[in-house]
Amino acid sequence: MNVTVAALYKFTRFEDPHPLRGQLLELCNQLGIKGTILLAAEGINGTIAGAGGAIEAVIAHIRSLPGCSETEVKYSTAATIPFFRMKVRVKKEIVTLGVADLDPTQPGEYVSPADWNALVDDPNVILIDTRNDYEVAIGSFKGAVNPKTTSFTELPLWMEAFKTSLPLGAPKPKLAMFCTGGIRCEKSTALMRANGFTDVVHLKGGILKYLEEVPATDSRWQGECFVFDQRVSVGHGLTPGSYKICYACRTPLSRLDIEHPSFEHGVRCPHCLDNRGVDQRARYAERQRQVDMAISQGQEHIGPQSARANVQAAIAHTADENC
């Protein structure tokens, strides 16, 4: 049975998001939904998975919330539910940028996936990938600028450096920005507009919508797209990609990484070979030994050091930057 995966967000104003948390959590648990939903005074953001009808019921509930009738939702499928539990959290921001008084309801103009290629091909447009470096490493649009951030909160510093690098007195260039599902671009384009860039656009629905709608034969996308669940990456048509994730350092791993002599499943990869201590390696190895033993006995290892908890920890650090 195919599982429906829904990535959603909406910037709106909630007077108090706390009462909404219990309602959403109860509904999702009743319907067997798993994933993560973030609530803040600025809106809602999350990715959830479950049976198609159950997902539609949760989306209908979300769209009944104040200001959420036009909530952006992107659907994909998976063979199994790519989450282990349901979490609904209240935070300061639904996607953490850390810029006070920024209004995400004033973003740049939307560009549909069908019209995006023209911007990628235009030499007068500066294409900016707003995602983090580990995401960009496995795929991006041809010719895009990589700010080389490790967290979305580093983008304002990059923006300041970018501004100062432009010729003094010259007109500000046209910027075309993109991210996984669109939510980070709502804030990053609003940030650029607040700093004097007037011609700013972003990809509506993000990379995921582009990969869903644009045929591979017409695509300007190169590589795969990192996603915030156990699939790790997806390709054109939103089919599951080839990447895995390192449980130790949380880096997406290619086939060559996994075939590297230093790779040890659950313990280390070529990217963290020299930056983990002996005690850490020992803990990782013991954790993996317990997981392997449980699997060999046909059991599900569900303790705090389980494979489930391990995979979830490896992607949880990106949860507040979802899409």
Domains 3-94 and 109-226 share a fold: no
- Residue 291 tokens read as 């997981």
> Per-residue pLDDT tens for 167-188?
988 899 999 999 998 999 999 9
pLDDT value of position 210:
96
Mean pLDDT of 274-278: 82
C-alpha 77/C-alpha 54 separation (Å) is 14
3-state SS assignment for residue 25 = helix
pLDDT value of position 306:
41
3-state SS assignment for residue 112 = coil
| pLDDT tier for residue 300 given thresholds of 50, 70 and 90 | low
Mean pLDDT of 100-104: 88
Q: What is the dihedral of CA 238, 239, 242, 244, to 10 degrees?
A: 70
> Per-residue pLDDT tens for 113-154?
999 999 999 999 999 999 999 999 999 999 999 999 999 999
In sequence order, the 6+-apart residues with CB closer than 8 A to the CB of 158 are 147, 148, 149
Asked whether residue 319 carries a pLDDT value surpassing 70, the answer given is no
Asked if residue 225 lies in contact with residue 180, where contact means CB atoms within 8 angstroms, the answer is yes
* DSSP code at position 172: P
Mean pLDDT of 57-61: 98
Asked whether residue 16 carries a pLDDT value surpassing 70, the answer given is yes
The gap between the terminal CA atoms of the chain, to the nearest Å, is: 25
> Per-residue pLDDT tens for 198-241?
999 999 999 999 999 999 999 999 999 998 777 899 999 988 89
Residue with tokens 């990379």: 207
pLDDT value of position 313:
43
Percent of the chain scoring above 90 in pLDDT? 67
The alpha carbon of residue 148 and the mean position of all alpha carbons in its chain are separated, in whole angstroms, by 16
C-alpha 205/C-alpha 177 separation (Å) is 12
Mean pLDDT of 61-74: 93
Q: What is the dihedral of CA 92, 19, 319, 276, to 10 degrees?
A: 80
3-state SS assignment for residue 80 = coil
pLDDT value of position 298:
67
In sequence order, the 6+-apart residues with CB closer than 8 A to the CB of 202 are 107, 108, 109, 110, 111, 176, 177, 178, 179, 182, 185, 186, 188, 189
Q: What is the dihedral of CA 46, 49, 53, 55, to 10 degrees?
A: -10
Choose among 228, 206, 219, 184: nearest CA to 94.
184
C-alpha 281/C-alpha 287 separation (Å) is 10
pLDDT value of position 314:
43
3-state SS assignment for residue 299 = coil
**Domain boundary assignment for the chain:** 3-94, 109-226, 245-316
C-alpha 26/C-alpha 58 separation (Å) is 11
The alpha carbon of residue 46 and the mean position of all alpha carbons in its chain are separated, in whole angstroms, by 9
* CATH annotation of 3-94: 3.30.70.100
| pLDDT tier for residue 323 given thresholds of 50, 70 and 90 | low
3-state SS assignment for residue 115 = helix
pLDDT value of position 29:
97
Choose among 93, 114, 89: nearest CA to 103.
93
Mean pLDDT of 24-51: 96
* CATH annotation of 109-226: 3.40.250.10
Catalytic residues: 179
